[in-house]
Amino acid sequence: MSGGDMAKPLLDHRNTEGDPSITPAAGRSIGVLGSGDFARSLAIRLVCSGFKVVVGSRNPKRKASLFPSAAEVTFQAEAVKKTDVIFVAVFREHYSTLCDLADVLAGKILVDVSNNTEINHHKESNAEYLASLFPACTVVKGFNVVSAWTLQSGARDGNKQVLICSNNQEAKRIVAEIAQVMGFTPVDMGCMSSACEIENIPLRLLPAWKIPIFLALGLFLCFFTYNLIRQVIHPYIREHKNKLYKIPIEVVNTTLPCVSYVMLSLVYLPGVLAACSQLYYGTKYRRFPDWLDQWLQHRKQIGLLSFFCAALHAVYSLCLPMRRSHRYQLIETAVKQAVEKKMNIWVEEEVWRMEIYISVGIIALGLLSLLAITSLPSIANSLNWREFSCIQSTLGFIALVISTLHTLTYGWSRAFDENQYKFYLPPTYTLTLLVPCTVILAKVIFSLPCIQQRLLRIRRGWEKGRYVKFVLPSATGEYSSGETSSNV
Ligand code: NAP
């Protein structure tokens, strides 16, 4: 957010002072040290929530006009004297300049709102550092995960969660109460040792997306190079034909469905591997290797990227006939046929192949869209567990099967045509079939009653080699108990 933006409050305090919809708090006095962007937004939000705000600045006269008229702007020592809960809205580097206030701060609650510029920048968290500078105060870490922007827009917009931690339960409760009155949702993150983790949160850049994005880029690069060799380099070397014009659209458009299709199968492959591991070890209580755990956790992102590539493929495909090169090729073919006096160019098999191939492709894209929509938290929250797993698991698997049909009808008999093997390289779609077909085959095997039953028992807690109590009726009709291996 630019400094210019910050100068204009999102929530105009003059308009909200008389707003009856804003619930006044108990009228507690809250101190804010600092008069920067965060302090200003915080003061506005606190005033709007019914708190009395006293801002402590090194230069109160100059800064007073930036704050709502209901907030008192005074010197730092004055502000600290008048309040018991004080938000420290200054950077960590300047904490030591507050040491002169140590006596007046003694016994008060300090709320550390600071962030760092790098993950794990300092050995100890900012909050722990503040606590070491002011041992007579109680420090609470909180509000750093909300931005100045979110503070001003309050409960209507942005992140509503405020993560809080402290070694003092009472201080934590008071700060949580303040957050709640301000329209936020306080989340108790435990004791002060969590401060470092809380301070790292705003610095993370899409942590769950890194692996899926690298995976998609890696696959894109591999398939792009493969298609480039087949579609551009091969005709250049063998026939001295310049096909560079194919790179921006045709090569990209043959690469995107490959990435999308393989990524979709990679959503279901870890589930297959997990099932294999459970069947092999005969238990669900054995931890999966870390890489499989990570893979299982990234399935949603991998699926969404698969949908993204499929959507791009659909748009690229629709644009294919718009290209000038396509028009030239059409005219060229028409002229050739006219010269050869060919009247009937209709090939029934090709017509059917294309109709089925496009229709199946549209259905696959529709199913992928449904999967993508239902993975959005707002939609997912409205589904119960059975509905969610049915859509994501069953419908997802159907999408994989239909995508396979799309690929097979696209390829048709070309896999058996030796002209398609450029530099002995098989057509790209035959390579993409490997992983999805493995997944489909594994799923079919898992659905065989003998394997399905065993997997179900394992997932309900049965373990191979574990002795379980059994009860048998005796000849007299009485029941006798004994022990046996559940494996038998
Ligand atoms: P800022 O605009 O630069 O304000 C910092 C304030 O610190 C100054 O206005 C200054 O107020 C005060 N200060 C006290 N002693 C100082 C000294 N020795 N040298 C310089 N300034 C001193 O920064 P900010 O964006 O408000 O951020 C303040 C804190 O909030 C930081 O710890 C930041 O990590 C945290 N935070 C900010 C945001 C955000 O969106 N901006 C979000 C989350 C957390 P006086 O001149 O009046 O004393």
- Which pLDDT tens digit goes with each residue over 348-389? 999 999 999 999 999 999 999 999 999 988 888 888 989 998
Ligand 1 atom nearest the C-alpha of 39 is: 26
Please tell me the residue having the least CA distance from ligand 1 atom 32.
114
The whole-angstrom separation of Cα 324 and Cα 380 is 44
Q: Which strand (E) or helix (H) includes residue 310?
A: helix 299-319
Structure pTM? 0.74
Please tell me the residue having the least CA distance from ligand 1 atom 27.
38
Looking at the predicted structure, is the pLDDT value of residue 324 above 70?
Answer: yes
CA of 174 relative to ligand 1 center, distance in Å: 23
Q: What is the pLDDT of residues 168-198, one digit of tens each?
A: 999 999 999 999 999 999 999 999 999 999 9
The whole-angstrom separation of Cα 424 and Cα 415 is 12
- Token pair 């065993």 in the structure block, residue: 454
Q: How far is CA 58 from CA 32, 62, 75, 89, 298, in A?
A: 12, 9, 6, 13, 48
Q: Tell me: do 96 and 189 sit in the same domain.
A: yes
CA of 94 relative to ligand 1 center, distance in Å: 9
Q: Is the dihedral of CA 280, 286, 290, 293 positive or negative?
A: positive
CA of 110 relative to ligand 1 center, distance in Å: 15
Q: Tell me: do 237 and 264 sit in the same domain.
A: yes
Q: Tell me: do 54 and 182 sit in the same domain.
A: yes
CA of 203 relative to ligand 1 center, distance in Å: 17
CA of 88 relative to ligand 1 center, distance in Å: 8
CATH code of the domain covering residue 195: 3.40.50.720
The whole-angstrom separation of Cα 245 and Cα 263 is 28
CA of 407 relative to ligand 1 center, distance in Å: 57
With respect to residue 191, please indicate whether it lies within any of the assigned structural domains: yes
Ligand 1 atom nearest the C-alpha of 116 is: 34
Looking at the predicted structure, is the pLDDT value of residue 90 above 90?
Answer: yes
CA of 33 relative to ligand 1 center, distance in Å: 9
Which pLDDT does position 27 carry in this prediction?
A: 76
With respect to residue 69, please indicate whether it lies within any of the assigned structural domains: yes
With respect to residue 346, please indicate whether it lies within any of the assigned structural domains: yes
| Residue 257 one-letter amino acid | P
- Token pair 């993370």 in the structure block, residue: 204
Please tell me the residue having the least CA distance from ligand 1 atom 10.
34
Looking at the predicted structure, is the pLDDT value of residue 21 above 50?
Answer: no
Q: Tell me: do 168 and 233 sit in the same domain.
A: no
Ligand 1 atom nearest the C-alpha of 58 is: 48
| Residue 353 one-letter amino acid | R
| Residue 460 one-letter amino acid | R
Are 266 and 435 in contact, with CB atoms under 8 Å apart? yes
* Phi and psi angles of residue 33, each rounded to the nearest 5 degrees, phi first: -95, 125
- Mean pLDDT across the stretch 124-153? 94
Strands (E) in 358-478, as ranges, are 467-473
With respect to residue 24, please indicate whether it lies within any of the assigned structural domains: no
Residue from 37, 63, 130 to probe ligand 1 pocket by mutation (most atoms less than 8 Å from CB): 37
Q: Is the dihedral of CA 205, 208, 211, 213 positive or negative?
A: negative
The whole-angstrom separation of Cα 28 and Cα 186 is 18
Domain boundary among 159, 183, 203: 203
Domain boundary among 169, 203, 237: 203
- Mean pLDDT across the stretch 45-73? 95
Looking at the predicted structure, is the pLDDT value of residue 216 above 80?
Answer: yes
With respect to residue 9, please indicate whether it lies within any of the assigned structural domains: no
With respect to residue 484, please indicate whether it lies within any of the assigned structural domains: no
Please tell me the residue having the least CA distance from ligand 1 atom 18.
94
CA of 219 relative to ligand 1 center, distance in Å: 44
Helices (H) and strands (E) in the chain, counts: 23, 10
Q: Tell me: do 42 and 121 sit in the same domain.
A: yes
Which pLDDT does position 155 carry in this prediction?
A: 59
**206: alpha, beta or left, given left = phi > 0 and alpha = psi -120 to 50?**
left
The whole-angstrom separation of Cα 167 and Cα 132 is 13
Please tell me the residue having the least CA distance from ligand 1 atom 16.
94
Minimum mean pLDDT range among 17-26, 158-167, 168-177, 323-332: 17-26
- Token pair 């409205």 in the structure block, residue: 382
Q: Tell me: do 286 and 168 sit in the same domain.
A: no
Are 74 and 56 in contact, with CB atoms under 8 Å apart? yes
Residue from 2, 42, 91 to probe ligand 1 pocket by mutation (most atoms less than 8 Å from CB): 91
Q: Tell me: do 360 and 213 sit in the same domain.
A: yes
- Mean pLDDT across the stretch 212-220? 97
Domain assignment of residue 370, given as a range: 209-460
Residues whose beta carbon lies within 6 Å of some atom of ligand 1: 34-39, 57-59, 63, 89-91, 94, 97, 113-115, 144, 147-148
Q: Are strands 161-166 and 185-188 parallel, antiparallel or unpaired?
A: parallel
Q: Tell me: do 39 and 76 sit in the same domain.
A: yes
Does 301 or 9 have the greater pLDDT score? Answer: 301
Q: How far is CA 255 from CA 22, 237, 308, in A?
A: 55, 21, 13
3 state DSSP class of 323: coil
Residue from 55, 57, 88, 90 to probe ligand 1 pocket by mutation (most atoms less than 8 Å from CB): 90
Are 141 and 195 in contact, with CB atoms under 8 Å apart? yes
Domain boundary among 148, 176, 203: 203
With respect to residue 373, please indicate whether it lies within any of the assigned structural domains: yes
Q: Tell me: do 105 and 221 sit in the same domain.
A: no
Which pLDDT does position 140 carry in this prediction?
A: 98
Q: Tell me: do 216 and 301 sit in the same domain.
A: yes
Alpha helix (H) residue ranges in 384-433:
385-389, 396-411, 428-432
Ligand 1 atom nearest the C-alpha of 59 is: 47
Residue (of 407, 408, 427, 404) closest to 417 by Cα position: 427
Please tell me the residue having the least CA distance from ligand 1 atom 7.
90
CA of 93 relative to ligand 1 center, distance in Å: 10
How many domains does the chain contain in total? Answer: 2
The whole-angstrom separation of Cα 340 and Cα 328 is 18
CA of 37 relative to ligand 1 center, distance in Å: 7
Please tell me the residue having the least CA distance from ligand 1 atom 4.
36
Expressed in angstroms, the distance from the first to the final Cα of the chain is 67
Angle between helices 434-446 and 449-459 (to 10 degrees): 80
Ligand 1 atom nearest the C-alpha of 91 is: 32
Q: Tell me: do 169 and 217 sit in the same domain.
A: no
Q: What is the pLDDT of residues 254-302, one digit of tens each?
A: 999 999 999 999 999 999 999 999 999 999 999 999 999 999 999 999 9
With respect to residue 477, please indicate whether it lies within any of the assigned structural domains: no
CA of 113 relative to ligand 1 center, distance in Å: 10
Which pLDDT does position 156 carry in this prediction?
A: 64
Q: Tell me: do 160 and 226 sit in the same domain.
A: no
Looking at the predicted structure, is the pLDDT value of residue 462 above 50?
Answer: yes
